[in-house]
Amino acid sequence: MAVRAIRGATQVDADDREEVLEATRELVSTVVERNGLDHDAIISILFTATPDLTSEFPALAARELGMGDVPLMCATEIGVPHALPRVLRLMAHVETDRPRAEIQHVYLRGAVALRRDIAQ
């Protein structure tokens, strides 16, 4: 079994607490589903948010999905002037038998524009 990193991102329409939580739940759930992960395979998840998102910690959404025992951390992305606004990102570290080439990185909503090369 190998340790792999899985990237993901989504974009919200507004800095609204419920929208941030809903979009993060969707992102986390989609990463888990597309990569065939079970709860015990998730080592940790690092969440980032663009500086314009301050209404809630994205990690709360993962806790609401039952990941209270998974190490979760939130940080703010650097404020690059031409960056896509209102974006939530994650990097999940997982244990999996999948080769790196079979990892499904997940880019949802407007965040597809960030990585069209690997967005599913």
Catalytic residue, chosen from 77, 98, 102, 109, is 77
Give me 52's structure tokens.
């314009």
The position carrying tokens 């079970």 is 38
Catalytic residue, chosen from 4, 56, 86, 107, is 107
Half-sphere exposure of 51 (CA within 13 A, CB side): 6
| 115 noted as active-site residue | yes
| 109 noted as active-site residue | no
82 neighbors 116 (Cβ within 8 angstroms):
no
Task: Report the distance separating Cα 102 and Cα 84, nearest Å.
Answer: 27
Give me 101's structure tokens.
């080439």
| 26 noted as active-site residue | no
| 74 noted as active-site residue | yes
Which residues does the annotation place in the binding site for prephenate?
7, 89, 107
| 89 noted as active-site residue | yes
| 17 noted as active-site residue | no
Which residues does the annotation place in the binding site?
7, 89, 107
Give me 76's structure tokens.
């703010």
Catalytic residue, chosen from 19, 25, 34, 74, is 74
Catalytic residue, chosen from 7, 34, 98, 109, is 7
Catalytic residue, chosen from 17, 33, 63, 64, is 63
| 7 noted as active-site residue | yes
Q: Which residues are catalytic?
A: 7, 63, 74, 77, 89, 107, 115
